Amino acid sequence: MLSVAQGVLLRMESDVGRVFLAVFTIPIIARMCGFPVTKLIIAHNVACSAAMLFICIYVLNRVPALLLSIRRGYRQLRAILIVRGIAIGAVTVWRRLRIAELLTSAYLTMFCVRMYVEVSENDRHMGETFSIMMSAIAECTSTPLSLLALALTVSCACKLIVKAAQWTVGGVHDERHVLAHGGCTEALTLVLLCFQIGILGMRIEQKVFLLGLVLFIVMSALLQSLYEILEPQMLALGAMPSAPRSRHIRTISLAGILILGPIVLSGSIASFLPIDLWCVIIVSNCVLTSIRSVSTTIVYSLTLIDNRAAEPWERYDDFVFYTRITTRCVELLLALGVVVYGIVAALNKQWTVASIVVLIFHTYFNVWRRVHNAVSMVKARHTATRNIDSLDKATKSQLEQRKDICPICFMDLIEEARITPCRHLFHGACLRKAS
């Protein structure tokens, strides 16, 4: 079988050449013919000599073609770099040579072999699946090239998951956000973190622990990417009365995964890692994704109810606002919890320069800016509500006399309407949405 595979890959047309590929079967054939075991070394030496002779003949015959191929490849590479520039030319060469696919295939092969070795030779049970996988990844990641292969493998896996999520919610893949939703963010995160902590020069035990930390961060980023795909599609789906029921079921299923998945991941992180500032930040991000998924699901349900009503639901906008402001408050509480833990850890002398810098950035972006945005949202909401409540309500007789439609939603004005200073009638709920 090996000789057949070699013949196909080398595209050999000579029958004699194909026979020479099987010279290493000479010792086996000799033993089958009754050759004594003590003399098998002779058959082995004959096989090795014949193989070396065949390799030399093949190389001598292929050197001219090899030189022509190198020359042709150099010309093509030079033309690509001149026409497209160094950056785009390098990307073009990378794609044409399928380097990402080759490195990913090589890494998956090494990973499967290491998994087999861990299970068979080290007498480990399949109940330790996570530990076995992390040990195999650590064994396979020992050089910069293998780290690049791991990053490309993670990128490929994330890209497949993102495409599956796109299909699930029925959205169209947006090429403008290829860095955000193409697995590139997760791959770059993995490479940068591994280089920052110097994972290549560590012992296997340290490497297993730190790779677990890095992969947990990558999974947290992946869940956030999935939520960014889910949110706009789910909110738009709630406003589509003609959308098929199967699409609703698929979208709700993905929302359920994003509600439960981060909670399960948080439990795994807390059991795998010691509780420190980094662990608290990762867990808070996971819980945040789950809370946002719950909020989006509630808004989606309210939108479904509003769109299936005979006329716009006046309390719809209030409930949506309460849901979103509650979500903002929970986000703020989580961020404050991280800050409090960081301050307590610093007072107990469990701090580093990196942790202090992270805590400062976290305080500004996740606490101060969220407080500012929440206050701005409440002020804008209060102003809009006060302006709309100041408008007079239309009476039943006025509605029956006018028999008008709302200029915003184009639905009949049946039970509730507001009279603007220009004497036009609008649904109060429509005015709230428009404001």
- Residue with the bigger pLDDT between 109 and 388: it is 109
Q: Are residues 186 and 269 in the same domain?
A: yes
Could you tell me how far CA 433 lies from the centroid of its own chain?
34
Tell me how far apart the alpha carbons of residues 382 and 367 are, in angstroms, rounded to a whole number.
22
Q: Are residues 216 and 276 in the same domain?
A: yes
The predicted structure's pLDDT at residue 312? 64
pLDDT at residue 387 tops 80: no
Pick from 77-81, 112-116, 344-348, 424-428: least confident: 424-428
H or E, element range at 398: helix 396-402
Pick from 85-94, 181-190, 244-253: least confident: 181-190
Q: Centre a 10 Å sphere on the Cβ of residue 326 and count the other Cβ atoms it contains.
A: 13
Domain end call among 35, 64, 96: 96
Q: Are residues 148 and 265 in the same domain?
A: yes
Highest mean pLDDT among 175-179, 289-293, 363-367, 425-429: 289-293
Q: Are residues 147 and 277 in the same domain?
A: yes
The predicted structure's pLDDT at residue 297? 95
pLDDT at residue 178 tops 50: no
pLDDT at residue 179 tops 60: no
Closest C-alpha to 235, from 225, 248, 221:
248
The predicted structure's pLDDT at residue 309? 72
* Phi, psi of 5, rounded to the nearest 5 degrees: -60, -40
> Judging by DSSP bridges, how do beta strands 392-393 and 418-419 pair with one another?
antiparallel
Q: Are residues 282 and 228 in the same domain?
A: yes
Domain span holding position 408: 391-434
Q: Once rounded to an integer, what is the mean pLDDT over residues 119-140?
A: 79
Q: Once rounded to an integer, what is the mean pLDDT over residues 126-150?
A: 86
pLDDT at residue 63 tops 80: yes
Q: What is the pTM of this model?
A: 0.73
36, 47, 57, 60 from 54: Cα distances, Å: 27, 10, 5, 10
Q: Once rounded to an integer, what is the mean pLDDT over residues 230-256?
A: 90
Q: Are residues 299 and 405 in the same domain?
A: no
User: pLDDT band for position 383 (50/70/90)?
Assistant: confident
Q: What is the pLDDT of residues 338-348, one digit of tens each?
A: 888 888 888 88
pLDDT at residue 172 tops 60: no
User: pLDDT band for position 240 (50/70/90)?
Assistant: confident
Q: Are residues 204 and 83 in the same domain?
A: no
The predicted structure's pLDDT at residue 123? 67
The predicted structure's pLDDT at residue 256? 95
Tell me how far apart the alpha carbons of residues 211 and 135 are, in angstroms, rounded to a whole number.
10
**Domain for residue 381, yes or no?**
no
Question: Is there a contact between 263 and 292 (Cβ–Cβ < 8 Å)?
Answer: no
Q: Once rounded to an integer, what is the mean pLDDT over residues 148-154?
A: 91
**Domain for residue 12, yes or no?**
yes
**Domain for residue 328, yes or no?**
no
The predicted structure's pLDDT at residue 357? 79
**Domain for residue 412, yes or no?**
yes
User: pLDDT band for position 311 (50/70/90)?
Assistant: low
Question: Is there a contact between 419 and 395 (Cβ–Cβ < 8 Å)?
Answer: no
The predicted structure's pLDDT at residue 124? 66
pLDDT at residue 336 tops 50: yes
Q: Once rounded to an integer, what is the mean pLDDT over residues 5-17?
A: 71
Q: Are residues 191 and 275 in the same domain?
A: yes
Calculate what percentage of the chain has a pLDDT beyond 70.
91
Domain end call among 292, 313, 334: 313
**Domain for residue 203, yes or no?**
yes
Domain end call among 282, 313, 344: 313
The predicted structure's pLDDT at residue 414? 67
pLDDT at residue 8 tops 60: yes
Q: Are residues 189 and 294 in the same domain?
A: yes
pLDDT at residue 173 tops 70: no
Q: Are residues 92 and 103 in the same domain?
A: no
Q: Which residue has the tokens 């190389």?
A: 59
The predicted structure's pLDDT at residue 313? 72
- Residue with the bigger pLDDT between 29 and 258: it is 258
**Domain for residue 204, yes or no?**
yes
User: pLDDT band for position 262 (50/70/90)?
Assistant: very high
Q: For the range 337-340, what are the long-range contacts, defined as Cβ-Cβ under 8 Å and sequence gap of 24 or more?
A: 337/280, 337/284, 338/277, 338/280, 338/281, 338/284, 338/362, 338/366, 339/363, 339/367
> Number of folded domains in the chain?
3
Residue 86 is classified by DSSP as H
**Domain for residue 395, yes or no?**
yes
Q: What is the mean pLDDT of the chain?
A: 82
Pick from 233-242, 324-333, 368-377: least confident: 368-377
Q: Are residues 32 and 113 in the same domain?
A: no
**Domain for residue 13, yes or no?**
yes
Q: Are residues 131 and 149 in the same domain?
A: yes
Closest C-alpha to 141, from 108, 188, 116:
108
Residues 6+ apart with CB under 8 A from 27: 40, 43, 44, 47
